[in-house]
């Protein structure tokens, strides 16, 4: 199973394949990236460069590279990211953050990455904190590490979304049996085997899907403190709070149902061990 295995429409799948082929053709000399930080971006020209520049060049002695997946932006997001030093994969049309992330995971694996991390292009999470997330992975204590604003610092002023983090964290903890405090954090890191194994399907709100499926497959998940800032530029693309919450909850319910057998097994001692 590869990181690119999805249930995409034929059109979306065609766009993804074309983008992947073009990227690998033009980046065939960029192998040897030990850690690839995947940054999905849609019309984030004003904020993407500082995010890319904040990605450490090395973590724990491992070479780190930024990979921006430009999800059909109509502005200069791709050029700005390249100017800041990122590898950029351009998707011809907007296909959704979940699809863009899956493409990024697939390309990171194709580049030979041992570890994959994520950051948001809007600047709400700081890639400079990635060494803290990588520490449990490099020590062999976890397979997947989730950043948590509740364990760290959250300067976001939207009270409804702050409450949503608490509520949905409790829901995911209940269905997985793993205590999680932040189900929608944009800062995460894991061994590449995780997304080479887990099949992801959601076009949006993939953070909860990835957590649930990772736990259901027996991988060890840990959380470390992270900081969440207010968006540095532009406007949120998540829509109204009630709609975002409804869709986020639906992804949790759908994924938990599909993975119910694995979640029962995951409550027993983990079958996975870090390599």
Q: Please give the residue range of the domain that contains residue 44.
A: 10-266
Q: Tens of pLDDT along 184-214?
A: 999 999 999 999 999 999 888 889 999 999 9
Does residue 256 sit within a domain?
yes
State residue 32's pLDDT score: 74
State residue 118's pLDDT score: 98
Q: Number of structural domains, the chain? A: 1
Average pLDDT rounded to a whole number, residues 145-156: 93
State residue 2's pLDDT score: 39
Q: Tens of pLDDT along 207-255?
A: 999 999 999 999 999 999 999 998 666 555 555 666 878 989 999 999 9
CA atoms within 13 A on the CB side of 99: 25
Contact by Cβ (8 Å): 144, 214: yes
Does residue 62 sit within a domain?
yes
State residue 274's pLDDT score: 43
Does residue 217 sit within a domain?
yes
Does residue 125 sit within a domain?
yes
pTM recorded for the entire structure: 0.90
Contact by Cβ (8 Å): 268, 187: no
Task: Provide the CATH number for the domain around residue 135.
Answer: 3.90.550.10
State residue 7's pLDDT score: 52
């Amino acid at each position: 199973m590869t990181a690119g295995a999805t249930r995409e429409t034929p059109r979306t799948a065609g766009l993804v394949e074309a983008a992947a082929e073009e990227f690998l053709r033009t980046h065939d000399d960029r192998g040897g990236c030990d850690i690839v930080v995947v940054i999905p971006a849609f019309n984030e020209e004003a904020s993407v460069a500082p995010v890319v520049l904040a990605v450490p060049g090395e973590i724990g002695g491992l070479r780190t590279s930024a990979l921006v997946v430009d999800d059909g932006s109509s502005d200069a997001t791709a050029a700005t990211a390249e100017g800041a030093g990122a590898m950029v994969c351009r998707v011809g049309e907007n296909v959704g953050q979940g699809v863009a992330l899956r493409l990024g995971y697939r390309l990171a694996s194709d580049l030979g990455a041992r570890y994959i991390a994520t950051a948001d292009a809007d600047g709400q999470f700081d890639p400079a904190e990635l060494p803290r997330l990588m520490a449990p992975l490099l020590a062999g204590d976890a397979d997947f590490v989730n950043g948590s604003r509740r364990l760290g610092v959250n300067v976001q002023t939207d009270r409804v979304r702050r409450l949503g983090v608490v509520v949905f964290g409790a829901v995911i903890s209940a269905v997985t049996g793993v205590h999680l405090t932040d189900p929608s954090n944009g800062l995460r890191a894991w061994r590449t085997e995780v997304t080479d194994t887990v099949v992801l399907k959601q076009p949006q709100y993939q953070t909860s899907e990835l957590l649930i499926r990772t736990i259901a497959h027996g991988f060890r998940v840990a959380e470390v403190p992270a900081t969440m800032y207010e968006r540095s530029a532009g406007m949120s693309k998540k829509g109204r709070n009630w709609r975002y919450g409804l869709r986020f909850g639906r992804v949790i319910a759908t994924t938990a149902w599909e993975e119910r057998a694995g979640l029962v097994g995951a409550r027993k001692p983990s079958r996975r061990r870090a390599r």
